[in-house]
Structure 1
Amino acid sequence: MFRIIQALNNNVALVKNEQGEQAVVMGLGIVFRKKKGDLIRPEQVEKIFSLKTEESKENFLMLLKNIPLDILTVTYNMIDKLVQNHQFPVQEYLYVTLTDHVYSVYQKLLKGTYQESRLPDISKEYVTEFSMAREAVEILSNKLSVNFPDDEIGRMALHFINAKGDYEISSNQEESARKRVLELVEEELSRNGIRRNAENSNLYDRLMIHLTYLINRLQTSQQDETSLVNMEDFVKSDYPKAFRIGQAIHRILEQEFKLDLSRSERVYLVLHIQRLLN
């Protein structure tokens, strides 16, 4: 049996199972006339999304405020399937960034405003990630009845590349350092005219999520060390303002953690900043 923690709509609820584990359950009308504390029978449930951490729950609920449930569930299912089939461990925030990306692309395709990127080909360096991205494009095209272009393979591969691995912060000292660095980054963004507001809150929050996980990796001295020279040249020439802001943030991170930020990490950060500038 599942006990309702929060009813999200008539068909979706945040629940706890008999072991006290949190999940989101879905099924036609399973929450109709039910309230917090009521029970849902397992045979009524059509889909379950396990939320292993408090962060998982917060991410799902945040996305649900801004993204249609069908887009969210298709993307979550897709990530779970690809991670399992390819035995590819990912950081939790992939669910946020990739779901947000999928919805953005979906809207542009429907409106006819989609523009292809000119990202350099790095498929030989990241065979698994590109294989996952190809499957992702096929799954999304079938499930959402919109033809996601092959150009999306490279873009989605970047999400898998950036999210590989799992790093956690354990000590209060590390948590304090993370907050201090994020405050310095927010000050730098503000100096460049980037402040969180009602219009950019989603993209701003996505950037801060990315930075949180980047800081986690730096605190454990783990970075993506692959040199992406072509990608770095691309973002420097095509996104000069984002690159300049990224350089300032790099310096903050390097001063705090006393290490050089890898080229890959630099590229990922600039791409996130560019999205916010757009």
Structure 2
Amino acid sequence: MKVVKVINNNLIKSYDEQHNEILVMGCGLGFKKSPGDEVNTSAIEKIYTCADKTSSHQLIGLLEKIPLEHVQVTNEIISFAKASLGKRLNENIYITLTDHIDFAIERHKNGVVLTNALLWEIKKFYSHEFLVGKEALSMIHRKLGVILPEDEAAFIALHLVNASTEELSSMSKATEMTRMMQNIINIIKEHFQIELDEYSIHYERFVTHLKFFAQRVFTNNILEEQDINFLSSLKEQCKNEYRCTLKIKDYMKKEFNCDLTEDEMIYLTIHIKRITAK
């Protein structure tokens, strides 16, 4: 592997064996190096493969201005997240999360605390991602001596949710999905005038259903109509639960201009019956 361009002392541009442009990071990797020099492979800490020139320019601009130790701890967090979640994360996470963590540390140094309005919802709906976020805070503390508030674990969790759903294009989508899920649960609680057992297996299954439902809504991949006759039967058997589903349908139309299909109505009604059963 040869140096194509030196970005800074810790970052160089090169090509891999398939002749794809890559960014190679390592402490002192670019120090006193020139184009054509061999790369010291023993000093490589991370190799970034960018899908396009825009991503490459964004990453270079980010890595040029951010302290190396902030980049290093973010890379470790992403590696831990991939292993813990067992998911392939969109490569853009290296841009978005690095930028977020650097900014969070900067805010902390300046005494600026950013409250996450969705903290409790993220804990409930994305508990695994939130636990990864909590471990990320521990890693930042161990590596950098910076103690960030729990709200930041939730912000990190949202970045992971966004990166694990490739069709979503921004953090705002993950935030909207979380708000949508909470609002649907609020509609159910208000309709039945009850509190739901958040530790029941039926509630966990419903939350899982809502996650996939939210992803379908935001990627325009709503279930097709398949069993209209079954819905007619369900309306008679679960009248009150179906009326609640109609409220959710109205909410989805008003807030997201989304028309729920009969199949989506069936699944929602069945789940509502289960989670509201005494």
Common topology (TM > 0.5): yes
What SS class does the counterpart of residue 4 from structure 2 fall into?
strand
Native 8 Å contact 1:15 1:25 kept in 2: yes
Which runs of 5 or more residues in structure 1 are unaligned?
169-208, 215-222, 234-253, 265-278
Structure-2 separation of matches of 1:32 and 1:157: 35
Report SS of the residue matched to 1:124.
helix
1:72 corresponds to 2:32: no
Residues of 2 paired with 1:17 and 1:23: CA distance?
A: 7
What is the rounded CA distance, in whole Å, between the counterparts of 2:16 and 2:253 in structure 1? 42
Q: Distance in 1 between matches of 2:67 and 2:47?
A: 16
Structure 1 residues 95 and 231: alpha-carbon distance in aligned structure 2, compared to 1, 3 A threshold: farther
Matches within 5 A, 1:19-34: 19-34=18-33
- The CA distance in 2 between the partners of 1:28 and 1:6, in whole Å, is 16
Q: Shift of the alpha carbon at 1:107?
A: 0.8
Residue 36 of structure 1 pairs with residue 35 of structure 2: yes
Q: How does 1:25-174 map to 2 (within 5 A)?
A: 25-43=24-42, 45-51=43-49, 53-54=51-52, 56-122=55-121, 123-167=123-167
Deviation, 1:8, is 1.1
Report if the CA contact (8 A) 2:162-2:170 is conserved: no
Name the SS for the 1:75 alignment partner.
helix
Q: CA deviation at 1:86?
A: 2.1
Which residue in the other structure is 1:228 paired with? 182
1:8 equivalent to 2:18? Answer no
* CA gap 1:51/1:119 in 2 versus in 1, 3 angstroms: same
- Matched length: 192
- Contact 2:26 2:46 (C-alpha < 8 Å) held by counterparts: no
When residues 159 and 88 of structure 1 are mapped into structure 2, their CA distance, relative to the original with a 3 A threshold, is same
Do the aligned partners of 1:15 and 1:22 also contact (CA within 8 Å) in 2? yes
Structure 1 stretch displaced more, 30-39 or 133-142? 30-39
- 2: distance between equivalents of 1:231 and 1:263? 15
Residue 198 of structure 1 corresponds to none
1:147 counterpart SS class? coil
Computing the radius of gyration from Cα coordinates, the structure with the larger value is 2
Pair 1:86–1:24, CA change in 2 (3 A): same
Where does residue 210 of structure 1 map in the other structure?
A: 170
Shift of 1:56: 4.9
Q: TM-score w.r.t. structure 1 length? A: 0.56
C-alpha distance in 1, partners of 2:141/2:255?
32
Amino acid of the residue matched to residue 47 of structure 1? E
- Displacement of 1:225 in angstroms is 11
Q: Displacement of 1:13 after TM fit?
A: 0.9
Cα deviation, 1:135-171, whole Å, max 9, x if unaligned, reads 1111122122101122222222122222223349xxx
Q: How far apart are 1:230 and its partner, in Å? A: 8.1
Deviations 1:194-249 (A, max 9, x none): xxxxxxxxxxxxxxx629x97xxxxxxxx88972328999xxxxxxxxxxxxxxxx
Shift of 1:19: 4.0
Counterpart of 1:50 in 2: which secondary structure? strand
| 1:154/1:31 CA distance change after superposition, 3 Å | closer
- Aligned-pair distance for 1:109? 1.0
C-alpha displacement of 1:28 = 4.5
Indicate how the Cα distance of structure 1 residues 64 and 81 shifts in structure 2: closer, same or farther if over 3 A, else same. Answer: same
Residues 143 and 113 of structure 1, relative CA distance in 2, 3 Å threshold:
same
Note the aligned Cα RMSD (angstroms). Answer: 3.8
Please state whether the residue corresponding to 1:131 is helix, strand or coil: helix
| AA matched with 1:142 | R
Segments ≥4 residues shifted beyond 4 Å: 223-226, 230-233, 257-264
CA, structure 1 residues 163+153, in 2 after alignment: closer, same or farther (shift >3 Å)? same
